[in-house]
Amino acid sequence: MQPKSPLYLSCQNKTVRDETGLKIKGPVFFKTDTGPGWLCNDEEHLKCHEEMLDSGLYMLLGLQNGTKNIKEMDQAYSEIKPATDKCTVPIAAMKMAKWVKA
């Protein structure tokens, strides 16, 4: 089955690479902001999802009430965040300095 969208003309389930290893055809993954509830609303949605999978379009569903989950993750990583910032801030500054000089 060919995808209906002209944005994904090279989309298919199996990855194809050229002689240099560059991906020229293969699956496309995209994330939506919707939760999993719409998939079970009716048969039409299930059929649409099956057609997307058959054509190599893989939809990653978002979490409902994602804000709550983000807050929980922030709390879970609050202890290691300062150490991470210590490492990333200098690296980001060096990269930005190189970019400004160029």
Domain extents for the chain?
1-64, 65-102
Give the single-character DSSP code of 6.
G
Paired with 16 in beta bridges are 25
Decide: 44 and 34 in contact? Cβ < 8 Å: no
Paired with 25 in beta bridges are 16
Comparing 98 with 70, the larger pLDDT belongs to: 98
The stretch 11-22 carries a mean pLDDT of 88
The stretch 45-58 carries a mean pLDDT of 85
Q: Does residue 64 register a pLDDT over 80?
A: no
The stretch 20-27 carries a mean pLDDT of 88
Question: Which helix (H) or strand (E) segment is 73 a member of?
Answer: helix 66-76
- Model pTM? 0.49
